[in-house]
């Protein structure tokens, strides 16, 4: 089984319209069929920093209801929305959303408005997918993330994006989105993984793929150490987008047990899904 832990639909390429049309649920299912992906987590984007095209939770729920065996609905609310916490209650209790994200905005990661969302996710046992894009979310060493991992120890935080994955190397200064070359041991990411069991890693997008391919020898050791907390995904959100993640997982020189965990079993566990 293969679960894409990170996918989107909607008009997230508004600047390229009409040359690049919105990605529909039907088009995403067609792509999943062609690539052998059994199910995908659909992540809304409700903050302007996440994409000017937006994708509301209601859109994700409608797509899930149309393809209930293929899509897993997440919810998302901008932390600046006054009624955010109540809206999360509605999305979970009435519409059955299984996770929260994609959480990305220009506030510091540990801002009080963000933290009230984390507290609500704790109430509903929702894993959070966050995208750190070298903005205001955090600083070198990821101290704001660490503060939240410690404060909300019952919440699973699934890290994603350039600012998250660049921290795999000890020489990360959060100035290069897709660093190349050897990874220096002792990075903040491994330190946090060792210290906090509620930290997981979203392998999607160019950031995750770059981290796993820039230094193949180091990456293989990283996978062998942390595979129970790695989540395979693509971050497919644009029509015609290249996603080498399927081939990467297929060719990964690890056991079938590890591939199954990364490709589906870890996601099923934290989302509380039946096989």
Q: Which residue has the tokens 């008009």?
A: 11
Q: Please determine, for residue 86, whether its predicted confidence score (pLDDT) is greater than 80.
A: yes
> What confidence tens digit (pLDDT) does each residue in 153-211 have?
999 999 999 999 999 999 999 999 999 999 999 999 999 999 999 999 999 999 999 99
* Contact partners, residue 3, CB within 8 Å, separation at least 6: 37, 38, 39, 40, 41, 72, 232, 263, 264, 267, 268
Instruction: State how far the Cα of 91 lies from the Cα of 68, in Å rounded to an integer.
Output: 16
Per the DSSP assignment, residues forming a β-bridge with 39 are 3
* Contact partners, residue 234, CB within 8 Å, separation at least 6: 4, 6, 7, 204, 205, 243, 245, 246
In the structure, what pLDDT confidence band is assigned to residue 265 with cuts at 50, 70 and 90? very high
Q: Average pLDDT of the chain?
A: 96
Domains along the sequence of the chain with CATH: 3-271 (3.20.20.140)
> What confidence tens digit (pLDDT) does each residue in 110-130 have?
999 999 999 999 999 999 999
Tokens of 45: 């984007």
Q: Which of 216, 212, 201 is nearest to 244 (CA)?
A: 212
Taking residues 66-94, report their average pLDDT. 97
Instruction: State how far the Cα of 166 lies from the Cα of 170, in Å rounded to an integer.
Output: 9
- pLDDT at position 260, please? 98
Tokens of 22: 């919105």
Q: What are phi and psi of 6, to 5 degrees?
A: -150, 100
Flag the least confident range among 8-22, 23-37, 181-195. Answer: 8-22
Interior/surface letters 163-202, b for 16+ CB within 10 angstroms, e for the rest: bbbbbbbeebebeeeebeeebeeebbbbebbeeeebbbbb
**3-class SS of residue 44:** coil
Strand spans (E) along 92-225: 99-103, 128-131, 157-160, 199-202
- pLDDT at position 275, please? 62
- pLDDT at position 30, please? 97
Cβ contact 262:231 at 8 Å: yes
Flag the least confident range among 17-21, 215-219, 225-229. Answer: 17-21
Tokens of 152: 């909300």
Q: In which order are the strands placed within the sheet that holds 199-202?
A: 3-7, 39-42, 71-75, 99-103, 128-131, 157-160, 199-202, 230-231
- pLDDT at position 252, please? 98
């Amino acid at each position: 089984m293969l679960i894409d832990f990170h996918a989107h639909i909607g008009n997230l390429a508004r600047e390229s319209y009409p040359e690049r049309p919105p990605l529909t649920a039907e088009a995403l299912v067609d792509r999943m069929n062609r690539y052998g992906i059994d199910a995908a987590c659909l992540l809304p984007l409700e903050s302007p920093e996440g994409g000017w095209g937006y994708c509301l939770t209601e859109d994700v729920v409608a797509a899930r209801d149309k393809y209930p065996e293929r899509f897993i609905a997440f919810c998302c609310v901008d932390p600046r929305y006054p009624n955010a916490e109540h809206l999360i209650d509605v999305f979970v209790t009435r519409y059955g959303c299984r996770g929260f994200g994609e959480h990305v905005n220009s506030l510091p990661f540990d801002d009080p408005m963000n933290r009230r969302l984390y507290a609500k996710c704790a109430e509903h046992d929702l894993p959070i997918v966050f995208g750190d894009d070298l903005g205001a979310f955090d600083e070198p060493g990821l101290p704001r993330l660490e503060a939240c991992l410690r404060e909300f120890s019952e919440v699973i935080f699934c890290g994603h994006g350039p600012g998250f994955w660049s921290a795999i190397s000890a020489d990360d200064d959060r100035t290069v989105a897709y660093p190349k070359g050897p990874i220096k041991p002792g990075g903040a990411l491994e330190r946090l993984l060792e210290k906090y069991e509620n930290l997981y890693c979203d392998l999607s997008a160019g950031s995750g793929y770059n981290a796993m391919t820039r230094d193949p020898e180091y990456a293989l050791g990283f996978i062998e150490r942390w595979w129970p907390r790695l989540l395979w995904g693509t971050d497919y959100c644009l029509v015609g987008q290249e996603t080498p993640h399927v081939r990467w997982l297929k060719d990964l020189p690890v056991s079938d047990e590890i591939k199954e965990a990364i490709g589906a079993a870890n996601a099923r566990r934290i989302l509380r899904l039946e096989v």
